């Protein structure tokens, strides 16, 4: 189910405002929405024509003015990021789309690619024009076979119609796109590991600096953005920066694809303005919880847990408000944790995921997470906990967080540290071999 977003002028007041109309997900689920013929009938590639008329520098200024921030998790200002690309350096520039959607609880980009692929292609064309890039790559998660096939077909259609290739639409702008399927590695969500994988190397993160804008893919200036970010640029150039800046909050502008999973009546993806509260998403759109809830994961499992309360339910889902609440927006993949589930068990599952997905390049991840951390949680989870085990986990976390080569170890420490802080009594019980929530001991489960 897709909630709608305002497409006219004026501020956004509430997710229940009847003036909302969808943008990113407007055509998701419509018959033949993935075809060029359908896209052109609904105004497709008009945003690119406007970008050509404006010129590269004006396009970057428009994106800056819109207040768009990266939708992949970091929330960095998109227009500012685009401005980092060097000018007139005589080298080929590359635009790279990170479509390796692997964060547990995140499932928004797959529908953009499979249901409306030309929207993404047009967004990348706009980015390529603005940054003087002649080549674009889409690095897509290997399991997204259907989405990859739709992208390949859409790119073929675009080439045949003159939207990709040499002298696009007679503008003098050369630009083409290739699709590369990954092999299902979470680490490839990290931009430099993604570039290594695309080059045919082991997917290990690179040391920065140099940053991708100076030396990225194949050593060339490269800018990497998420699928949703490029798609948002299509609508910014179509409707204008003021339209986008009029949605959301003062510092978190625009619409966002919020995903919700867990025990709710209508799990799915909802297109809502940034600043929508958890209460609006969970109750007004997702139909409310189906059982008692004790915690919320607000943006994918790398985000710190939030304890279920009226205060948290009324917290706006934007970058600043969630940081103030002790977590982050991340990919806006909201997951509800029911009271019947042990937090220790839930965190053990998260730690096992990170242990499995670690590239093993650095010691904090290879030995700290894949070695000690996962073993400590297994010990608690199998009923062999002892007094002091939780403190030992905290001591290990202190030696892992902020000391790894990339952000994967820090991402793992988010759920570990927040779960201990908010639910220490469950860890104390696990040290006694008890499982809070079901009334059973671990050995009986």
Of the candidates 94, 403, 103, 319, the one whose C-alpha atom is nearest the C-alpha of residue 223 is 94
User: Residue 20's pLDDT is what?
Assistant: 56
pLDDT digits (tens), the chain, 445 positions:
344 333 333 223 334 444 456 799 999 999 999 999 999 999 999 999 999 999 999 999 999 999 999 998 888 999 999 999 998 899 999 999 999 999 999 999 999 999 999 999 999 999 999 999 999 999 999 999 999 999 999 999 999 999 999 999 999 999 999 999 998 889 998 999 999 999 999 999 999 999 999 999 999 999 999 999 999 999 999 999 999 999 999 999 999 999 999 999 999 999 999 999 999 999 999 999 999 999 999 999 999 999 999 999 999 999 999 999 999 999 999 999 999 999 999 999 999 999 999 988 899 899 989 889 999 999 998 889 999 999 999 999 999 988 888 889 999 999 999 999 999 999 999 999 887 764 444 444 3
User: Residue 87's pLDDT is what?
Assistant: 87
Say if CB 31 and CB 278 are below 8 A apart.
Answer: no
Other C-beta atoms within 10 Å of 223: how many? Answer: 23
Cα–Cα distance measured from residue 226 to residue 367, given in angstroms and rounded to the nearest whole number = 31
User: Residue 441's pLDDT is what?
Assistant: 43
Cα–Cα distance measured from residue 376 to residue 354, given in angstroms and rounded to the nearest whole number = 14
Both tokens of 195, joined, read: 């570039």
Cα–Cα distance measured from residue 274 to residue 168, given in angstroms and rounded to the nearest whole number = 35
379 contacts: CB under 8 Å, gap ≥ 6: 385, 389
Of the candidates 156, 434, 203, the one whose C-alpha atom is nearest the C-alpha of residue 443 is 434
Cα–Cα distance measured from residue 334 to residue 338, given in angstroms and rounded to the nearest whole number = 13
The reply to whether omega before 209 is within 30° of 0 (cis) is yes
Of the candidates 303, 324, 299, the one whose C-alpha atom is nearest the C-alpha of residue 407 is 303
Alpha helices in 252-407 (DSSP H): 278-279, 310-313, 319-324, 343-357, 363, 374-381, 389-400
Both tokens of 106, joined, read: 């995140």
Cα–Cα distance measured from residue 268 to residue 148, given in angstroms and rounded to the nearest whole number = 21
Predicted TM-score (pTM) of this structure:
0.91
* Strand order across the beta sheet in which 94-99 lies: 176-181, 135-140, 94-99, 222-226
For the chain, the first-to-last Cα distance in angstroms comes to 36
Both tokens of 111, joined, read: 């529908």
φ/ψ of residue 335, rounded to 5: -125, 130
User: Residue 11's pLDDT is what?
Assistant: 29
């Amino acid at each position: 189910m897709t909630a709608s977003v305002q497409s006219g002028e004026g501020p956004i007041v509430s997710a229940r405002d009847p003036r909302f109309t969808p943008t990113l997900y407007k055509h998701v689920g419509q018959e033949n929405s993935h075809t060029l013929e359908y896209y052109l009938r609904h105004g497709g590639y008009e945003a690119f024509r406007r970008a050509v008329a404006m010129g590269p520098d004006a396009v970057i200024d428009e994106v800056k003015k819109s207040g768009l921030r990266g939708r992949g998790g970091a929330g960095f200002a998109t227009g500012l990021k685009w401005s980092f690309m060097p000018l007139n350096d005589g080298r080929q520039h590359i635009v790279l789309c990170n479509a390796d959607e692997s964060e547990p609880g995140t499932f928004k980009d797959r529908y953009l690619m499979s249901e409306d692929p030309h929207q993404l292609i047009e967004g990348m064309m706009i980015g390529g024009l603005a940054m003087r890039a002649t080549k674009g790559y889409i690095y897509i998660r290997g399991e997204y076979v259907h989405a990859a096939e739709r992208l390949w077909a859409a790119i073929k259609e675009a080439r045949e119609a003159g939207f990709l290739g040499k002298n696009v639409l007679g503008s003098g702008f050369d630009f083409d796109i290739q699709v590369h399927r990954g092999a299902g590695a979470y680490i490839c969500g990290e931009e430099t590991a993604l570039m290594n994988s695309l080059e045919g190397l082991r997917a290990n993160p690179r040391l920065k600096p140099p940053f991708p804008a100076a030396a990225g893919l194949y050593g060339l200036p490269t800018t990497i953005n998420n699928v949703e970010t490029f798609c948002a640029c299509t609508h910014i150039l179509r409707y204008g920066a003021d339209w986008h800046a009029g949605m959301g909050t003062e510092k978190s502008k625009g619409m966002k694809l919020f995903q919700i999973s867990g025990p709710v009546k209508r799990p799915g993806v909802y297109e809502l303005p940034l600043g929508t509260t958890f209460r609006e998403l969970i109750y007004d759109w997702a139909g409310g919880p189906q059982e008692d809830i004790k915690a919320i994961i607000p943006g994918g499992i790398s985000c710190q847990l939030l304890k279920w309360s009226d205060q948290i339910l009324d917290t706006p889902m934007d970058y600043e408000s969630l940081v103030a609440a002790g977590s982050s927006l991340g990919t806006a993949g909201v997951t509800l944790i029911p009271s019947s589930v042990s937090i220790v068990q839930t965190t053990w599952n998260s730690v096992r995921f990170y242990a499995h997905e670690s590239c093993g390049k650095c010691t904090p991840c290879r030995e700290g997470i894949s070695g000690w951390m996962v073993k400590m949680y297994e010990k608690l989870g199998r009923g062999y906990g002892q007094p002091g085990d939780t403190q030992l986990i905290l001591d290990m976390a202190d030696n892992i967080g902020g000391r790894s080569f990339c952000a994967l170890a820090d991402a793992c420490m988010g759920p570990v540290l927040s779960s201990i802080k908010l639910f220490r009594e469950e860890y104390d019980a696990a040290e006694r071999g008890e499982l809070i929530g079901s009334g059973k001991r671990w050995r009986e489960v």
